[in-house]
């Protein structure tokens, strides 16, 4: 008898969703997204449910992303299964974003990609010393979806652009400083926090404030580079960012440029356009519609197929991008990827 990948139940006024696919670090599939959606819809109008808690089994991480292998296999064909997954996943993201009751997500361990999508919409986002956050999609020929076009450009300065392009990994000191996560609670105190939340289901923020550790995390390591990030990543073309980093001449800037040169040139340009467009949008739903149109096309491109092969399938970490440099990624290519879908194919929120 296999265990369910999502465990949803109500405990003392708290609707509790536990991710339960620990061997895959709770990587999301369509069935998991649909199970979470079903629970949240059932609790939305239920007066007995006062708040929602999302946590996970095991200690390896909260959620490492989506089911990338499935998406790539689907993208190698007609991408219909990938689009069905994106439809369910993005509807879940939007449902959480607009949810009328407070959601608390305990982001203990790895949180990447799809895991960001089911934690960033939560009102209360608890990080621990084991938290590692990243949006590493440009390294596999993708882009930071699941709402990345909305959340990342709304981080302080240009930190979201830097994160999206480089795929940098952050620990809790930086994520709390930037507002990616709202509170730091040591891992040893997480069970105590959960018990307190279950005893006080109507006041999750009060409990988060009470359990937060005032002396941790340590000073954010990113702080010394924030001025440079805001200056060097403020451009609207990737070529200008490359030139600015090259001209800067510091060890840090050179390291960022070296990292960017390993990423898919197409993904870098797609991602920068996505974030600049997302910054100008006024509704999360419009952002998800943009990402849905984009995702269904990008998963069929050479770079996504090659990125998944190199990083996830063969694990040689030597992708051969095409085009191999920025100059080969034309505005016409980007326009085609970002074109709106026909009305009968567009993403829509849950009815």
| Residue 324 in domain | yes
- Please, where are the H alpha helices in 200-351? 204-211, 226-232, 238-248, 251-260, 265-280, 284-298, 302-308, 331-338
Say how many domains are in the chain. 1
Q: Which domain holds residue 122?
A: 6-345
Structure confidence at residue 99 as a pLDDT band (50, 70, 90): very high
Phi and psi based region of residue 322 (left: phi greater than 0; alpha: psi -120 to 50; beta: remaining): beta
| Residue 257 in domain | yes
Dihedral sign (CA 263, 246, 274, 225): positive
Q: Is the pLDDT of residue 68 over 80?
A: yes
pTM of structure: 0.96
- CA–CA gap between residue 287 and residue 237 (Å, rounded): 20
**pLDDT at position 214:** 73
Instruction: State the pairing for strand pair 103-107/6-11.
Output: unpaired
- CA–CA gap between residue 73 and residue 85 (Å, rounded): 13
Per-residue pLDDT of 132-162, as tens digits, reads: 999 999 999 999 999 999 999 999 999 999 9
> The CATH number of the domain where 157 resides is what?
3.90.226.10
| Residue 350 in domain | no
Percentage of the chain beyond pLDDT 70 is 99
Q: Is the pLDDT of residue 228 over 90?
A: yes
- CA–CA gap between residue 95 and residue 60 (Å, rounded): 27
| Residue 1 in domain | no
Q: Is the pLDDT of residue 104 over 90?
A: yes
Q: In whole angstroms, how large is the CA radius of gyration of the chain? A: 20
| Residue 236 in domain | yes
Kindly state the average pLDDT of the residues 334-345.
97
**pLDDT at position 215:** 67
| Residue 275 in domain | yes
In the 8-state DSSP scheme, what is residue 119? T
**pLDDT at position 1:** 67
Kindly state the average pLDDT of the residues 183-204.
95
- CA–CA gap between residue 73 and residue 1 (Å, rounded): 28
Active site residues: 66, 114, 137, 145
Tokens standing for residue 299: 């998963």
| Residue 229 in domain | yes
In the predicted model, what is the mean pLDDT of the chain? 96
| Residue 351 in domain | no
């Amino acid at each position: 008898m296999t265990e369910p990948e999502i465990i949803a139940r109500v405990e003392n006024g708290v609707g509790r969703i536990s991710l339960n696919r620990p061997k895959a670090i709770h990587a999301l599939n369509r069935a998991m997204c649909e199970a979470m959606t079903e629970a949240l819809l059932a609790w939305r109008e239920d007066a007995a449910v006062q708040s929602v808690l999302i946590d996970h089994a095991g200690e390896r991480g909260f959620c490492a992303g989506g089911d990338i292998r499935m998406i790539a296999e689907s993208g190698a064909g007609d991408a219909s299964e990938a689009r069905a997954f994106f439809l369910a996943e993005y509807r879940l993201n939007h449902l959480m974003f607009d949810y009328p009751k407070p959601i608390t997500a305990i982001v203990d361990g790895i949180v990447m990609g799809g895991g960001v999508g089911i934690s960033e919409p939560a009102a209360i986002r608890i990080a621990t010393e084991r938290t590692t956050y990243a949006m590493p999609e440009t390294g596999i020929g993708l882009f930071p979806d699941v709402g990345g076009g909305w959340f990342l450009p709304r981080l302080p300065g240009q930190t979201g652009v830097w994160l999206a392009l480089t795929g940098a990994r952050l620990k809790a000191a930086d994520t709390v400083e930037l507002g990616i996560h709202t509170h730091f609670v040591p891992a040893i105190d997480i069970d105590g926090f959960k018990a307190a939340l279950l005893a006080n289901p109507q006041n999750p923020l009060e409990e988060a404030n009470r359990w937060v550790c005032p002396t941790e995390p340590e000073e954010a390591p990113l702080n010394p580079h924030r001025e440079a990030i805001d200056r060097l990543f403020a451009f609207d073309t990737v070529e200008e960012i490359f030139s600015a980093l090259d001209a800067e001449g510091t060890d840090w800037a050179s390291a960022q440029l070296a990292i960017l040169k390993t990423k898919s040139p197409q993904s870098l340009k797609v991602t920068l356009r996505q974030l600049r467009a997302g910054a100008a949008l006024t509704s999360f739903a419009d952002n998800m519609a943009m990402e849905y149109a984009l995702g269904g096309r990008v998963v069929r491109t050479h770079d996504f197929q090659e990125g998944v092969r190199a990083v996830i399938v063969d694990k040689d970490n030597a992708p051969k991008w095409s085009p191999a440099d920025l100059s080969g990624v034309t505005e016409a290519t980007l326009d085609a990827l970002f074109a709106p879908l026909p009305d009968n194919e567009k993403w829509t929120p849950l009815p």
